[in-house]
Structure 1
Amino acid sequence: MSYYTLVPALPALVPLARLQELPCSTLKLEQRLTMLNEADRDQLSRALHLCQRERIGDETLSDADEIARWHAELEAIEDPALRDVIAEYLQSRTLVAALRYRLSGQQEGASFKGFGPCVWLIRRDWQQPLFGLERRFPWLVKARDALEARQSCTLELMLLERFWNRLWRLEQEQAFSFAAVAAYRLRWALAEYRLRWSAEQAQTYFDRWVGGTLETVDLQLAGQQWTGSEA
């Protein structure tokens, strides 16, 4: 199929901070995405699963097993640009998890499980305020401040915006490609998630998420079941 046909058919998404509603139903969007071939649909499904906030179906996995699954699913994504962006996202989850575990009282980092090339540095420099990674990841300063102030919503919005903007750049850099389509679909999932949450739900959800970032969280919040492909 031609991405030159599909990409222009995808309705524009306004910036996340100004988002009020989706331009069409997710069902209509999925109907348009049936233009993708089977291999592309498989990769897109893997990308959505890797970027879900919750880990539906992974309740019995240990941290180590879940990280191994992340690696396996990421390796199955053939597009290198998309794979790199998702890897950055998974690494950000690891960094926030490390901050949260240490703030909760974990005294040593030798047993910390995470994703990405910085895990050994996190373990080695566990006692440093930001694991010595603040120059490489300047956003960690705001993330730590938000966690210490228990401003869960602030941190959640910051992480959403960072991922959204990275996906948008990927769309621009890889125009009329599978990577652009996948980045758009992941932004759509972020938009769905953002539109559904109230401030109270967001704080409850995020507190549970950062309390077990590499574990599953229960989606039943305040008696309401969340559905869909939240990224």
Structure 2
Amino acid sequence: MSKRHQYVDLLASLPALPVTPFGREPLPISAIRLEHRLVTLSDAHRDTLEALESLLDWRHLGLELSTEAYIRCYRQAAPQLAEHGVLELVEALLEQRSLMTALRRRRRGDPAPSLGETWGFGPRLAHISAHWQAPLFGVGPVFPWLAEAREHLEHDRPRKLEGLLLEEGWRRLDRARRHDRFDFREVVIYWLRWRLLAAWRRYNAEAAERRLQADIEQGLGDYETLFSGDGN
């Protein structure tokens, strides 16, 4: 079977993902079942998927990992990702993160990154630094979502910001699909889109839990001490 159709059976076995990531329906396939389906990947592709996951999931890297160390990890993995045709998918996600990093740094009052400083990803880092005081770093036409992201950040609307970034990532991955191909790249796109779905549902669940806890604490008032042992 040609590489173009290498994973016809695998992709055909995966349930369709929803049109929008913001629905209330459960995930179409669980993490365990998806992992089970992916065992049919070749050893080389499985290694590449694990390398990709290590770049996107900070739990694999440790919370104390510096930007410089992270970029070293990226550069080590980049040739492997490029060989299997998925590097540009990762680069787009990392460039989005870099733009958000720039917005947050500038909001804190940080100066523009110095020449040669390692702080992000993408071909526009020098341009962003040179246009640090421009409202959208001079790249607004390239990234139409950036203006709205800045507004959400400046007005402390984290849920709307997360939703915007997720939706932009979803659209980008949808545009990257090639409906006449059934290769490893298409498997990775499905996997990345599934991760976005899972992340949004997890974000909503955690937010709901925080709201519930706040409601409980507000409702208990002084009665909270009745059960804490501190009411004497």
Q: Is the 1:46–1:73 contact (alpha carbons within 8 Å) kept by the matching residues of 2? A: yes
Q: Provide closer, same or farther for how the CA distance between residues 169 and 108 of structure 1 changes in structure 2, counting only shifts above 3 A.
A: closer
Higher relative contact order (CA 8 A, sep 6+): 1
Is the counterpart of residue 38 in structure 1 residue 33 in structure 2?
A: no
In structure 1, C-alpha distance between the alignment counterparts of 2:56 and 2:120, rounded to whole Å: 15
For 1:24, the equivalent position in structure 2 comes to 29
The residue matched to 1:107 in structure 2 has which SS? Answer: coil
User: Residue 16 of structure 2 aligns to which amino acid in structure 1?
Assistant: A
In structure 2, C-alpha distance between the alignment counterparts of 1:166 and 1:134, rounded to whole Å: 17
Q: Is the 2:22–2:200 contact (alpha carbons within 8 Å) kept by the matching residues of 1? A: no
Question: Which consecutive unaligned segments of at least 5 residues does structure 2 have?
Answer: 211-232
Q: Is the 1:90–1:115 contact (alpha carbons within 8 Å) kept by the matching residues of 2? A: yes
- Displacement of 1:104 after TM fit? 1.1
Is the counterpart of residue 11 in structure 1 residue 6 in structure 2?
A: no
TM-score, L = length of structure 2: 0.78
Q: Is the 2:68–2:118 contact (alpha carbons within 8 Å) kept by the matching residues of 1? A: no
For 1:150, the equivalent position in structure 2 comes to 156
Q: Is the 2:94–2:121 contact (alpha carbons within 8 Å) kept by the matching residues of 1? A: yes
Is the counterpart of residue 189 in structure 1 residue 181 in structure 2?
A: no
Is the counterpart of residue 88 in structure 1 residue 88 in structure 2?
A: no
User: Residue 41 of structure 2 aligns to which amino acid in structure 1?
Assistant: L
Is the counterpart of residue 134 in structure 1 residue 132 in structure 2?
A: no
The equivalent position to 1:69 in structure 2, one of 59, 69, 73, is: 73
In structure 1, C-alpha distance between the alignment counterparts of 2:178 and 2:26, rounded to whole Å: 23
For 2:53, the equivalent position in structure 1 comes to 48
User: Residue 88 of structure 1 aligns to which amino acid in structure 2?
Assistant: A
Q: Once the two structures are aligned, what percentage of the paired residues are identical?
A: 36
Rg (Cα) greater in structure = 2
Q: Provide closer, same or farther for how the CA distance between residues 69 and 38 of structure 1 changes in structure 2, counting only shifts above 3 A.
A: same
The residue matched to 2:112 in structure 1 has which SS? Answer: coil
In structure 2, C-alpha distance between the alignment counterparts of 1:21 and 1:50, rounded to whole Å: 26
Number of residue pairs aligned between Structure 1 and Structure 2: 201
For 1:161, the equivalent position in structure 2 comes to 167
Q: Is the 1:16–1:161 contact (alpha carbons within 8 Å) kept by the matching residues of 2? A: yes
The residue matched to 2:177 in structure 1 has which SS? Answer: helix
Q: Is the 2:16–2:28 contact (alpha carbons within 8 Å) kept by the matching residues of 1? A: yes
The residue matched to 1:197 in structure 2 has which SS? Answer: helix
